[in-house]
Structures are given as structure tokens and as C-alpha cells.
Amino acid sequence: MRTLDDLLSEGVRGRRVLVRADLNVPLDGERITDDGRVRASLPTIRALADAGARVVVTAHLGRPKGEPKSEFSLAPVARRLGELLGAEVAFATDLVGPSAKSTVDGLADGGVALLENVRFDARETSKDDAERGALADELAALVAGENGAAGAFVSDGFGVVHRKQASVYDVAKRLPHYAGGLVLAEVDVLRRLTENPARPYVVVLGGAKVSDKLGVIANLLTKVDRLVIGGGMAYTFLKAQGHEVGSSLLQEDQLDTVRGFLAAAEERGVELVLPVDVLATTAFAADAEHQVVPADAIPADRMGLDIGPESQKLFAAKVSDARTVFWNGPMGVFEFEAFAGGTRAVAQALVDGDAFSVVGGGDSAAAVRQLGLPEDGFSHISTGGGASLEFLEGKELPGVAVLED
């Protein structure tokens, strides 16, 4: 696999380089509420610009379903990227149309341009190889140099490498391609989790639905020493054990699967840790009145929105002696301060411990920042929750495989 360093050593001054970044940030109107992914993209973009490349960045935001929608425009991201780079970032108001062509043509050596949301074009996510290929051809043409000289492609959006999409997979087949620093770092970390991890190896999973993590749970049960389950998915596990979970989030159709997980964990000697108490309320609201109840006896009219104080102590203890920890998914509705305690307890235990600790992107990474915890307190904070989970599930990541020559 050729890397960004290989490209830089070839010399890039005056050369157009297409960078697939992951700039899928949360927005409140035009205000970015968490710029972690923008900051994570900076090293690769800055290295290319400093070396004199003409950098053309493509990325997505949200799920506009193949048509332009103003609320999913990357214009606010272009402004923030420019602020962080300390230089103006030219913004193309289309993807491969007149604005994109004139914007790219106007770049000077060391200049950076951001194309409009790649998912405004339905071909990006098409299942049809020819449709995706046609868009990839147009993206590749944007970075062709004088007299048809080939540009280059740098894949640096780890959050999308599990998708076989035009700007991730197909364009790499059309241009000299290189793995960016972020993709390399993420893959290196994930390989460390799957190839001889230091033990005890503990995985903490949370989030809303068991169904989102079926494959990764099945695979991890063959690899980990301890599996800690919190968040909304814990209630399906509790119900599978025969406990009353009230009106808590429950996936009835997954109960048999979860019973299979419980049996597999026992058979393989994997310690499976569930909440022993929860914060239960009658309403899903930030200011909802709540009480601590046993996890095996949640009142019929109440729902659990966070793990309780005893569970917080238990979960913290179960990660504190680990040598390797992977954490994906909050322990409760951390967006509501009253129900952020469980997520904070797990995160703080990782900060205080000395394990090789990996935060698996998505809501977990957002929680770290929202709760004000030091990002350098973790060994690695992934930018791609879905990609991380698919890697740990044992699946091939198309956007990584296509880079391997």
C-alpha cells in the first residue's frame, strides 16, 4: 500500500491531488457543533499544501439522498477548514460542474479547494458499478494536469472506507492512489486490537440497538476476555435473561440472537457484564424525573435512560484492570446531563487507566468532547465508528482493499 509519504517523496508541487476526507460533522443550522473530524483531516491536507500540491478535497455531509439540499451544504465546513488551516479554502458550489472546474483551475500551488457534498450526486452511492464509475471518471478528470497528466488520489476518510462508493473506491481505480495518514493510523490501531492484543482485552459496547452490532458481538466473543454492555442495547440483553425492562428500548426480534450470545459467552469463558441498576424515568426528556431502580426490576411504566450509580462503579472497575480496551457507544442518553453519568464513568475510567484504549468513533467520540474529557487521555479516538465495527467484525473494507496494490 502506497502512502502519503510515498506521494510526497515523489514531489507534488503544482500537481493536483484529490483527497477523500471525512468531514461529516454535526451542524446546528450553519454552526458546527463538533469539529473533531475537520481537525482530524488537517495533517494530510496541510502536508500536501505545504509541499505545493493543489489540493482538491471531496467529502459528504449527512444523507441528502442524491440531490442538493441546502441544509447539507459543506459551505460551513469550508469556512471552518480555512480557519484551522490559516488560509482561505476555495469552495465549489457543485461537485463536478462549472463551479468545481473553475475553482480547481484557479488553484495556485499550495491552494486548497473543497467540492460541494459528494452525496448530492446519486451516483456516489449507486449500487451500479457503471454509474459510480462515471462519477469517478469526472472526479479524476478534475485533477488531471496539463496535457492529460494524471493527478493523484489520497484516501483519508476512514469513516467511509467500509463503503463501496465512487469517491472512496472507484476513483482509486482511476488515479495513482495513496493511503492518507489518518487511514493508516486507524488501520494500524485496529490491527493492534485484532492481532495479539495485550490482555485482559475488554470491549465496552453501548448505543441504542443490538441489531447494529450483531456481527461484531459474534466475532468479539471469540476474541475478548470481557464484554461490557450498556446503553439502550443492554435492555434487550436483560430481557433475554428473563428480566422486566418496563418501557425501555427493546428489540423483541433480537431476543433469540441475544440468548445465543449469552450462551456463547458462557461456553467460551467470556465475562459478560450487564448493568445492575439503571436510572429509570417515565419520559424521554432532559428534565424528566427519574429514580434508581434494579436493572432486573424496572417498573412497567418506566424506561431506563442510563446505567445507575452501582453500574457505573462496576463498569469502571471492569475496565480499570484491562490492558486493551475498545469502547463503542454511550452508556445512556449522554446528550441529557442527568443521564450522562454512565458514559462519563466509563470514559473517565479509561482516562485514569493505563490500557491501550480506543474510542470507536461516532457518538462515543462526540461524548468525549461534550463531556470535556481530555482527548489525549485515550490512546486513539477513531473517526469512523461504522468502519471500526466492520473491521472488528472481520469484514473487508473496500476503501482499504482498493489501496492495496
65 flagged as catalytic: no
Question: What stretches of 162-238 adopt beta strand conformation (E)?
Answer: 177-179, 201-205, 226-229
% of the chain exceeding 90 in pLDDT = 84
Pairing verdict, β 380-381 and 244-245: unpaired
4-180 and 189-393, same CATH topology: yes
Which residue, 30, 29, 19, 142, is CA-closest to 85? 19
Residue 62 annotated as part of some ligand binding site: yes
Cβ(19)–Cβ(46) below 8 Å: no
The three three-digit cell numbers of residue 182, written as one number: 489518518
- 33-54: average pLDDT: 95
Which DSSP symbol is given to 66?
A: T
**Considering only the top CATH level, what class is 189-393?**
alpha beta
Beta bridge partners of residue 271, listed in sequence order: 226
Cβ(309)–Cβ(277) below 8 Å: yes
Contact residues for 260 (Cβ-Cβ < 8 A; gap 6+) = none
Instruction: Dump pLDDT digits (tens) for 47-80.
Output: 999 999 999 999 999 999 999 999 999 999 999 9
Q: How far is CA 305 from the centre of its chain?
A: 23
**Confidence (pLDDT) at 149:** 63
Q: For the domain covering 4-180, report its CATH number.
A: 3.40.50.1260
Coil, helix or strand at residue 351: helix
Pairing verdict, β 177-179 and 152-155: parallel
* 34: confidence class by pLDDT, cuts 50, 70, 90: confident
The three three-digit cell numbers of residue 293, written as one number: 431502580
Which residue, 235, 267, 231, 228, is CA-closest to 250? 235
DSSP alpha helix (H) spans, 11-59: 36-50
Q: Work out the mean pLDDT of the chain and round it to a whole number.
A: 94
**Spatial separation of the C-alpha atoms in residues 356 and 247, rounded to whole Å:** 37
86 flagged as catalytic: no
* 36: confidence class by pLDDT, cuts 50, 70, 90: confident
**Spatial separation of the C-alpha atoms in residues 143 and 172, rounded to whole Å:** 13
Residue 52 annotated as part of some ligand binding site: no
* Phi, psi dihedral angles at 168 (to 5 degrees): -110, -45
- The catalytic position among 209, 259, 323, 369 is 209
- 274-302: average pLDDT: 95
**Confidence (pLDDT) at 147:** 59
Residues shown for the chain:
405
Residue 170 annotated as part of some ligand binding site: no
**Confidence (pLDDT) at 366:** 85
Within a 10 A sphere around the Cβ of 374, how many other Cβ atoms?
8
386 flagged as catalytic: yes
- Helix axes of 362-370 and 341-352: crossing angle, nearest 10 degrees: 90
Instruction: Dump pLDDT digits (tens) for 307-349.
Output: 999 999 999 999 999 999 999 999 999 999 999 999 999 999 9
Cβ(290)–Cβ(279) below 8 Å: yes
The three three-digit cell numbers of residue 103, written as one number: 475553482
**Confidence (pLDDT) at 294:** 96
- The catalytic position among 362, 384, 385, 399 is 362
**Confidence (pLDDT) at 364:** 86
Residue 296 annotated as part of some ligand binding site: no
Cβ(378)–Cβ(345) below 8 Å: no
Instruction: Dump pLDDT digits (tens) for 208-241.
Output: 888 888 889 999 999 999 999 999 999 999 999 9
Burial class (CB in 10 A: 0-12, 13-18, 19+), 94: middle
209 flagged as catalytic: yes
- 115-129: average pLDDT: 98
Cβ(351)–Cβ(377) below 8 Å: yes
Delimit the domains of the chain by residue range.
4-180, 189-393
Instruction: Dump pLDDT digits (tens) for 3-22.
Output: 999 999 999 999 999 999 99
Q: Which residue has 496541510 as its cell numbers?
A: 46
Residue 2 annotated as part of some ligand binding site: no
- The catalytic position among 37, 174, 302, 344 is 37
**Confidence (pLDDT) at 383:** 81
Which residue, 236, 269, 232, is CA-closest to 255? 236
Instruction: Dump pLDDT digits (tens) for 251-282.
Output: 999 999 999 999 999 999 999 999 999 999 99
**Confidence (pLDDT) at 392:** 87
- The catalytic position among 52, 215, 386, 394 is 386
* 133: confidence class by pLDDT, cuts 50, 70, 90: very high
